[in-house]
């Protein structure tokens, strides 16, 4: 069979032949129809991820859309190495094969679950978003940020502010439900003023942060109180990504003057929680409540597109 074969960490995979997989106990043989190309796939192949492969060659791809031997159409995750999702066939744990509604096309079904489930869990499990709250999405122009914005609205957020760096996508965020948008690339003082204005006296209830780095430093400066004040409602910042930088400077005064709690995504939750999140996002997508833009690329072109950045918030989907 053909696959995206990685021979050396830090190099793009190549379109080559690989031995067919044989499913083991509690595994399913999957005929792959689509697999999305995500940041984590590139990180794993570069050697920079803690779960990067130690033995090569391997097939790239962490999840995708395929058909089981009994004809069931599923989204699958966690293929057993050396097999991956970017191949004509793979093997995956049966526990991580989820039926897909017929209303969702292959490319969307391959691209949506990973970022949508991540955004759903960040907002529900970690931030515990309640209806009527105000949400700020830092990095709302990325694929996952766009879905987080939509999900916040679906979950009943009263007001959602989308902040991002891609000006072209920023203009489209209102179509996805954003009440206000903020350009993150503007000078520090004007960005701080924008955060302060949109947060108001009460501040934000929930902040989902896909960027970290400078934008988050400016945000915490904007919400820091300069005088003694009565505690207001708590703000929950969920740290998810670091596209603008891996570190920030966090003055102690921020945490002493502001009711801010900083949370991480805290790893992979239980299968029960994952299954319910998957059911929710698939149901919402089938109803047309969640949208994701995709670009279909033949598996044979994997080496060419591997290092190409996502364009205008679209997710690349590889078709075997």
pLDDT for the residue 193: 94
Q: Which residues contact 41 (CB under 8 A, 6 or more apart)?
A: 60, 61, 62, 86
Range from 207-221, 224-238, 306-320 that averages highest in pLDDT: 207-221
CATH number of the domain to which 96 belongs: 3.90.180.10
For the residues 239-249, what does the mean pLDDT come to? 90
Higher pLDDT: 66 or 188? It is 66
Strands 206-209 and 134-138: parallel
For the residues 218-237, what does the mean pLDDT come to? 79
What per-residue string of b and e applies to 26-42 under the rule 16 or more CB within 10 Å gives b?
Answer: ebbbbebbbbbbbbebb
Q: Which residue from 120, 157, 163, 123 is spatially nearest to 141, judged by alpha carbons?
A: 163
Same domain flag for 223 and 306: no
pLDDT for the residue 311: 65
271 within some domain = no
Q: How far apart are CA 145 and CA 169, in angstroms?
A: 11
Q: Which residues contact 197 (CB under 8 A, 6 or more apart)?
A: none
Domain containing 47 equals 2-112+292-319
Residue 228 pLDDT > 80 = no
Q: How far apart are CA 320 and CA 313, in angstroms?
A: 23
Residue 268 pLDDT > 90 = no
305 within some domain = yes
For the residues 8-28, what does the mean pLDDT come to? 95
Residue 191 pLDDT > 80 = yes
Residue 229 pLDDT > 60 = no
63-119: per-residue pLDDT in tens? 999 999 999 999 999 999 999 999 999 999 998 999 999 999 999 999 999 999 999
Same domain flag for 51 and 66: yes
C-alpha dihedral sign at 195, 143, 38, 63: positive
Residue 274 pLDDT > 60 = yes
Give the least confident one: 120-124, 198-202, 286-290.
Answer: 198-202
Radius of gyration of the chain (CA): 20
Question: How many domains is the chain built from?
Answer: 2
For the residues 217-233, what does the mean pLDDT come to? 76
pLDDT for the residue 269: 79
179 within some domain = yes
CATH number of the domain to which 154 belongs: 3.40.50.720
């Amino acid at each position: 069979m053909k696959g995206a074969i990685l021979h050396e960490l830090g190099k793009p995979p190549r379109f080559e032949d690989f031995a067919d997989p044989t499913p083991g106990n509690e595994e399913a043989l999957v005929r792959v129809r689509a697999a999305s190309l995500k940041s984590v796939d590139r990180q794993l192949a570069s050697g920079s991820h803690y779960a990067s492969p130690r033995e090569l060659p391997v097939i790239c791809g962490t999840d995708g859309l395929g058909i089981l031997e009994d004809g069931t159409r599923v989204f699958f995750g966690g293929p057993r190495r050396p097999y991956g999702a970017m191949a004509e066939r793979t093997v995956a744990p049966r526990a991580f094969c989820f039926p897909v509604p017929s209303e969702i096309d292959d490319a969307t079904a391959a691209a949506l679950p990973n970022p949508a489930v991540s955004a759903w869990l960040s907002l529900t499990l970690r931030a515990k978003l309640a209806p009527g709250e105000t949400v700020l999405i830092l990095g709302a122009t990325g694929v996952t940020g766009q879905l987080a914005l939509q999900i916040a609205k679906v979950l009943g957020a009263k007001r959602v502010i989308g902040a991002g760096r891609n000006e072209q996508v920023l203009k489209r965020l209102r179509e996805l439900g954003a009440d206000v948008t903020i350009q993150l690339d503007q000078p520090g003082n004007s960005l701080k003023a924008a955060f302060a204005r949109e947060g108001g006296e009460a501040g934000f209830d929930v902040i989902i942060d896909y960027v970290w780095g400078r934008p988050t430093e400016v945000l915490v400066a904007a919400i820091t109180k300069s005088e003694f004040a009565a505690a207001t409602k708590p703000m929950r910042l969920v740290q998810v990504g670091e596209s603008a930088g891996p570190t920030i400077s966090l003055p102690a005064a921020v945490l002493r003057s502001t009711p801010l709690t900083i949370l991480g995504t805290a790893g992979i939750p239980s299968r029960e929680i994952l299954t319910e999140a998957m059911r929710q996002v698939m149901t919402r997508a089938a109803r047309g409540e969640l949208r994701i833009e995709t670009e279909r690329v033949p598996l044979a072109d994997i080496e060419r597109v591997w290092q190409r950045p996502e364009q205008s918030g679209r997710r690349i989907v590889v078709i075997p």
